Structure 1
Amino acid sequence: MTAPPVSRSQPGSPQLLDHSRQTRRRSVFSRIVTVFTVLNALGVAALLLLISVVSEEWWLTAVLTYLPRAPWVLPSLLLLVVSLFANRTMAWVNGVAAVLVLGPVMGLSAPVGAVATPTDESKVLRIATCNVQGGIGHLAKVLHELDLLEIDLLVAQEAVRDISELEEHYADWHTLHIGEFWFGSRYPIRHLQTFRSEGFNRDTAVVVEVEGPDGPFRVVNVHQSTARHGLMNLSWHSPFTDEGVKDFEWYQWQREVEALDTASFAMDQAVVAPTLVLGDFNMPTTSSMFVKSWSRLTSAFEAAGFGYGYTSPCNTGTRWPKNTPWLRIDHILYDDRWNVHECQIGRTDGSDHRLVMAAVTLKPQADVGDE
């Protein structure tokens, strides 16, 4: 007599055992995804806290401040895809983590309610700044962009070596060249003062007076020291051996002195007349050093620009895609007597820094008094 067939639901059947194994594997995989999701979410939250609050107050987070931030989104995106199949509840967590990285961690700017451009275009000043890298790049690319933007005033940093192409291009403008600082304007300009900071004992700013269409105003051309030279003192094992840490901390202290000195000089100009501060600050606006020094002025890009607005570095060799900067360290700042209507970042790699352009107008005196 033959044995009765084994039911699929009967304990010990091959089908039931196989189904049980698959269920256990899915459960284990789901738990693994959950663990990695939680760890990643905590890591993103910690990263945001470190770069936005601690920032350059601690040497290790100062390093994070100047490293590329886009790679930090990869774990969140990978976990998001995996969690859609393994644990959909965790997909929401990974989605939020990705948004945090793509937003505040990477410095996304999305201003609301920018001031509309006035109907009288003659009142609008289109101003720009660019570190021209001593003219050793492809300056023609930068000049072509500037022509398309129809600017009225340009300030340049590192205007050394061969900048004849720049000077010839603006030969019919009012120009001024002091050290590494260069000014070009459709309107008359007059040199007022060159500022030398105690930090590193170097010239960090030049201020001029411009006879604009609505009266005189001041423009401060700024170039502060880069963090890069201090970072070069560090190595991969510095967190364990402290190699180069003291040198880097000393360098950072000098940078902070320089930033505070230069910002104080710029604010002195704002006491006298409407003031615009443009240049290569060599620090993002999220830097604690920037906040300490420059927070009394407003960033044009954060007021009227959209996107990340990265300006440097454009030429990075083989370890990073060319013309793909990851830092916004070139800025246009303004005091409360100005309206900013738009702010754009250049696109070319004619220099190691992209240009920054803003369209601004002076506020009516009554509007300034009401604020």
Structure 2
Amino acid sequence: MATWLYAAGLALLLGAMEWIGERNWLVATCLYVPAQAWLLPLLFLAPVSLAFQRRLLWWHLGCCVFVLFIYMDPEWSWRPPPRGPSLVLMTNNIGQNNRQSITEFLREQNPDIVLLQEARARGSRYQRSFPEYQMAEQAEFVMLSKFPIMNSQVVELPGQQRFPVAARFEIEWQGRRVAVYSVHLPTPRRELFRLRGAGLLIALAGIGQEKTAPGRFRREIAEAWANRIELARALLERLKNEPLPFLVAGDFNMPNHGFLYRMFSRELVDAFEKRGRGYGFTFPGYSLNPLTGFGPWLRIDYCFAGHGFTVTDCRTESGRRSQHRAVAARFEPDSRY
């Protein structure tokens, strides 16, 4: 009975995270938990089944396979050979890089465009380090480009707080203008930290008790998640109205499951999902969590293709102990545009 209840509960939880996601504060919180954690009950169920009902071990194995190889969605993509001119884009949030340089991955991938987030006032330093690139800087966003940068501006969106969440750059490539967006959506760290310890119990106690202190606490967290959705919608609407061929990359602070990811992936092509290999985790670059092999467990940094481009390759940096790992993708012009 315990195994059946566990399997049913696991299916409901994973389904809720995939299809409800950030629309519910509790489900949204679960999105940021390492997926391996949902297999921990098997540490207790498996020995009992081994002693009394061994056939249930097949169900345990099935749960492991489903979480590790279906829900966590490792990619095994075929990478086609180059067919013509291509553009390589690399993105990295360098805000808390733990003194770890991106130089090795940058030299390895040799990108045409580099987008850096949380790089306020550091553009000149990177241009001195990589003189083969032109540089443009808007707020926290820095672009390094091998092609002429024709224009750059902060993207103003309704609902954004003190800091912009995106910048738009325009380059000249292959005789035409191309728009490139660098994105840094707000982190949900504050909402997640507020639920630590007794915070989760307080929020749960506030369900249906709107006029009480726990109710107000729960409502504040729910409103923060709702505001994230509205801000993401505003950004996506801006991208949908972009008249030029365009690419989008950056730190979206959203896992590759849930409502927000499905919203973006319906309109844009996720380069890693299309042409990546492995899990592609980018955050946190290092951890003390043995469940995740002391490495990252979330994919929150992305390269997306908008209209005008197709994806031929995507690679995630490995090994660097920075907070975020870089992502590089190769794009080719779409013949339909």
Q: Flag whether TM exceeds 0.5 (same fold).
A: yes
The within-5 A match list for 1:1-371 is 35-76=1-42, 79=45, 83=49, 86-105=52-71, 107-110=72-75, 114=78, 116-120=80-84, 123-133=85-95, 137-140=98-101, 142-160=102-120, 165-201=125-161, 202-213=163-174, 215-234=176-195, 235-242=199-206, 243=214, 244-269=217-242, 272-293=243-264, 295-316=266-287, 324-349=295-320, 351-365=322-336
Q: Is the 8 A contact 1:301 1:343 kept in 2?
A: yes
CA 1:111–1:139 in structure 2 vs 1: closer, same or farther (change >3 Å)? same
Q: Is the 8 A contact 2:123 2:136 kept in 1?
A: no
CA distance in 2, matches of 1:66, 1:104: 17
Deviations 1:82-140 (A, max 9, x none): 646653422221121111111343x223255x4512255xx122211000116x63242
Equivalent position amino acid for 1:124 in 2 = S
> How many matched pairs?
324
Percent identical: 27
CA 1:350–1:143 in structure 2 vs 1: closer, same or farther (change >3 Å)? farther
Partner residue, 2:211: none
TM superposition shift of 1:159: 0.3
Normalization by structure 2: what TM-score? 0.86
Q: Is the 8 A contact 2:288 2:294 kept in 1?
A: no
Deviations 1:115-173 (A, max 9, x none): 512255xx122211000116x63242x12111111211110100026566523222231
- Report which of the two structures shows the higher radius of gyration computed on alpha carbons: 1
CA 1:286–1:320 in structure 2 vs 1: closer, same or farther (change >3 Å)? closer
Tell me, what secondary structure is at the counterpart of 2:164?
strand
Normalization by structure 1: what TM-score? 0.79
TM superposition shift of 1:238: 2.7
CA 1:262–1:240 in structure 2 vs 1: closer, same or farther (change >3 Å)? closer
TM superposition shift of 1:73: 2.5
Q: RMSD of aligned C-alpha atoms? A: 2.6
CA distance in 1, matches of 2:48, 2:174: 59
CA 1:349–1:241 in structure 2 vs 1: closer, same or farther (change >3 Å)? farther
Q: Unmatched 5+ residue regions in structure 1?
A: 1-34
Judging by fraction of residues, say which structure has more helix: 1
Tell me, what secondary structure is at the counterpart of 1:232?
helix
Q: Is the 8 A contact 2:245 2:306 kept in 1?
A: yes
